[in-house]
Amino acid sequence: MKIFGFPLRTIAALALGVVAFLGATPGFAQSAPKGDAAVASSPKVTTQQHGDWMLECYDPAVNGMSCQIKQRVVHNESGQNILLMTLTYSPKEKSDMVQYVLPLDFLLAPGVSVNIGDFQAVARVNRCMAQGCVIEGKTEEAFINAMKAAKDQGRFVMMSRVGKKVGINFSATGFTKAYNEMRAQNSK
């Protein structure tokens, strides 16, 4: 089965980031396996912080992907998650896959503008759930290049229900190092 031209296993690997972002909610909660089954079913996760980007690697690999990078942005006052950016490289597909989880309560029709340096694109929301709206799929090489060249931050811009532009800033600090390490690990 394919979603946006990518095998379901590729999308499933990115979904791990969403589960980590959302935490164990009643919709995701399950009874923990007992004994050896618990050990066998859970991959070992190692993390490295590179600036504002975190590299997460799984042993054994999950759905053929060893590593992903992510950045979580929280609201200054409430501490609530307002953005999760996750990116992985699939050597089999020879492409970078992204998944963004944004807050609810914005207009979907105009899409979400992604701006970093000279790069600008409009992304369409794939689905919304109780925890947020998800944009996922293959990303442009121009986005990766813009992230590597950026000196500070990028911005997601969306329209509120009352027609006002709302922006969420994200950081490019540490992206290049995290991305290069993730890609090297996934290409082994």
Average pLDDT, the chain: 83
Identify the structural domains of the chain with CATH numbers, from first to last: 2-186 (2.60.40.1880)
Label residue 40 by pLDDT band (50, 70, 90): low
- Percent above pLDDT 70 for the chain: 78
What token pair was written down for 38? 């618990």
| Residues contacting residue 90 through CB under 8 Å, at least 6 positions apart | 6, 10, 13, 64, 65, 96, 97, 186
The residue behind tokens 């992985």 is 88
Residues 78-127 pLDDT 10s: 989 999 999 999 988 899 999 999 999 999 999 999 999 999 999 999 99
- 142-147-149-153 Cα dihedral, nearest 10 degrees: 130
Question: HSE-up of 126 (CA within 13 Å, CB side)?
Answer: 12
Instruction: Give the separation between CA 87 and CA 179, rounded to whole angstroms.
Output: 8
pTM over 0.85: no
In 3D space, the residue among 1, 7, 188, 170 whose CA is nearest the CA of residue 97 turns out to be 7
Which position has the token pair 């996922």?
136
